[in-house]
Amino acid sequence: MSQIIQSDQISTKTIYNFSAGPSVLPAPVLRQAQEELTDWRGTGMSVMELSHRGKDFISIAEDSEARLRALMPIPDSYKVLFLQGGATGQFVGVPANLSTASGVADYVITGQWGQKAYAEASKYLDKLNVAARTDPHTYVPPQGEWRLSRNAAYVHITLNETVNGVVFDQVPDTGDVPLVADVSSIILSEPIDVTKFGALYAGAQKNIGPAGLTVVIVREDLLARTRPRTPQVWDWYAMAKAGSMLNTPPTYAWYIAGLVFAWLQDEGGVPGIAEVNRRKAEKLYAAIDGSSLFANPVALANRSRMNVPFTVATDELEREFLAKAKDAGLVNLEGHRSVGGARASLYNAMPEAGVDALVAFMKEFENAHG
């Protein structure tokens, strides 16, 4: 949420940003970043200007990792990497670091990002198995229906599909085969039992901080499987040994992430924010389900609490809805360019008041057009 001061400098307008990413950041974080922008704690330098090898930045990096570990929580038997290249980079990072001699990996595809992860991995592994794929992407098929390989190196899922608004209602049990999840749009929004996964990865630009930072959480015993020709920036083992500083890390994004983690700790941590997130999503789905203009196609059990796609009755009404919402300060409600429609992303930093404003606007729009 931010206040923009209009040109007459008298009226102010509240903006609620429903973007799927890069997305809204907590206002206190932005204010602190502003205060510290040119002089980080008496150094006379911006964090952007600090050497990543100097003690000041090392303290920022360590503090940030410690907060993330406490928030999730992440056991000591897992390494946390702060990398570049986005979640898309990790579509390659996963097969490059986790494939085994068998060369087989299983993918469960429940939306567009899972499909992309699969397509990218198929350039690196000869034997990829689609254990399940939904069409349309409106649900998560029960694990009993998956066709898992006998000796897969890993099973890949997208825990929350950002475009389709589809979330796993429970973490699958893949036994001894490491479960790997893209958690870009769900990390830190609700408790995730890290111990059920071999590896987790997330682009930061939703619930962590600015774009440019990618977090990988990997069980230590899975490191050292890295394929020999893996470029060092994708090499989890090498990066883990170098404290994510094999080359210059995204220092400023790492610092902002630390501020976001501190903010989240103040907000009651992940359980605290999860309760708010549950309320926000319930309010929006209730507004959609109670209307004759708006609709969401996702199975009830798999409706995402972070990304809520919805359609508006006709193309014309959809255009009008999006334009008027924008005028009302409810911005970035357009659906992903590949699917159209509308989508409200309700990440941690979206205040409940933003959802209340959206729901009120939807009711008003429906009354005017219903």
Q: Which residues bind ligand PLP (CB under 6 A)?
A: 20-21, 86-88, 113, 158, 162, 182, 184-185, 203
Query: Shortest CA distance to 182 belongs to which of 307, 69, 89?
Result: 89
Q: Which of 40, 113, 234, 236 is catalytic?
A: 113
Residue 106 exposure: Cα atoms within 13 Å on the Cβ side: 19
If the CB atoms of residues 87 and 121 are measured against ligand PLP, the closer one turns out to be: 87
If the CB atoms of residues 162 and 287 are measured against ligand PLP, the closer one turns out to be: 162
* Smallest separation (angstroms) from ligand PLP to the CB of 86: 3
241 is catalytic: no
Query: Shortest CA distance to 82 belongs to which of 228, 225, 248, 259?
Result: 248
* Smallest separation (angstroms) from ligand PLP to the CB of 324: 26
First to last CA, the chain: 29
* Smallest separation (angstroms) from ligand PLP to the CB of 142: 21
Query: Shortest CA distance to 217 belongs to which of 238, 196, 202?
Result: 202
196 is catalytic: no
Give the bridge partners for 266, in sequence order: none
* Smallest separation (angstroms) from ligand PLP to the CB of 87: 3
* Smallest separation (angstroms) from ligand PLP to the CB of 84: 10
Q: Which of 79, 182, 236, 280 is catalytic?
A: 182
If the CB atoms of residues 26 and 212 are measured against ligand PLP, the closer one turns out to be: 212
Q: Quick check: 83 and 238 in contact, CB under 8 A?
A: no
Q: What is the distance between the alpha carbons of residues 114 and 183, in angstroms, rounded to a whole number?
A: 11
Return contacts of 51-55, CB within 8 angstroms, 24+ apart.
52/245, 52/248, 52/249, 52/251, 53/245
If the CB atoms of residues 332 and 357 are measured against ligand PLP, the closer one turns out to be: 332
Q: Which of 206, 234, 236, 263 is catalytic?
A: 206
Sign of CA dihedral 333, 90, 257, 266: positive
116 is catalytic: no
If the CB atoms of residues 174 and 214 are measured against ligand PLP, the closer one turns out to be: 214
Q: Which residues are catalytic?
A: 113, 182, 206
